[in-house]
Amino acid sequence: MSIISTVAPERASGKVAEVYGQIRQMMGRVPNAFQLYSSSPALLEQQMQQIAYYRQHPALSFPLLAMVRMLVSQHNDCQYCVGFNESMLMDMAGLTPEQVAATRRNPADAPLPEKEKAMLLLVLKATQTPGLVEKSDLDQLRALGWGDGDIMDAVYHGARNVAVDIVFNAFKIENDF
């Protein structure tokens, strides 16, 4: 179990119970990834708002975002997030275990359209070596049809995941997938 106190779904009340209800509707249960935030109901609520925003994003697809999270987490050695996103890619996006493994070995082999693959690679560059991102990187994405808002949203999603990895690793989240 985590080394920080959390609220179990059966003991939740108030804002935590409300957000847990939304999570249950979305996922059928309340994974440890969400229970970890219960020690700070405001952060739990912010996390759900971020998820809602990205779930309805007009340009960034579910597989792209799940790959961003999986690969950012792989770089940060957050095994919980790697496994959780691998599961989502297979269970919800229909990828095979072989496709997921190939993506983890070499992100350039991700089974995504070229436009999305270019975005994935930029997000990884931004989260791993931000000082190396150049205007030409953004120009390449713009030439593929990405808007600056999409680029910002994708890089921010990856950057937020770095923070999530730190929190999950620091508080020793227990795998539950």
Question: For 1-43, how does the pLDDT look when each residue is reduced to its tens digit (9 = 90+)?
Answer: 799 999 999 999 999 999 999 999 999 999 999 999 999 999 9
Q: Which of 55, 73, 93 finishes a domain? A: 55
| Within-domain flag for 3 | no
Asked if the structure places residue 29 within a domain, the reply is yes
pLDDT score recorded for residue 74: 98
Task: Give the pLDDT of residue 177.
Answer: 80
Domain CATH number, residue 79: 1.20.1290.10
Residues 103 and 148 in one domain: yes
168 burial class (0-12, 13-18, 19+ CB within 10 angstroms)?
Answer: buried
Within 10 A of 36 (CB to CB), how many other CB atoms are there? 23
Q: What is the pLDDT of residue 85?
A: 97
Rounded Cα–Cα distance for residues 6 and 173 (Å): 11
Both 83 and 124 in a single domain? yes
Q: What is the model's pLDDT at position 21? A: 96
89, 97 Cβ separation under 8 angstroms: no
Tokens of 174: 């227990």
pLDDT reading at 173 higher than 90: yes
Distance CA 168, CA 177 (A): 15
79 C-beta neighbours (distance < 10 Å), count:
15
Q: How far apart are alpha carbons 88 and 72 in whole angstroms?
A: 15
Q: Are residues 67 and 22 in the same domain?
A: no
Query: Structural domain of residue 98, as residue ranges?
Result: 62-170
Helix 97-105 and helix 62-75, axial crossing angle in degrees, nearest 10:
50
* Residue labelled with tokens 């990834």: 33
pLDDT at 32: 95
Each residue of 71-121: pLDDT tens digit? 999 999 999 999 999 999 999 999 999 999 999 999 999 999 999 999 999
String of b and e for 88-97 (b: at least 16 CB within 10 Å)?
bbeeebebee
Give the type of residue at 134.
E
Counted residue by residue, the chain has a size of 177
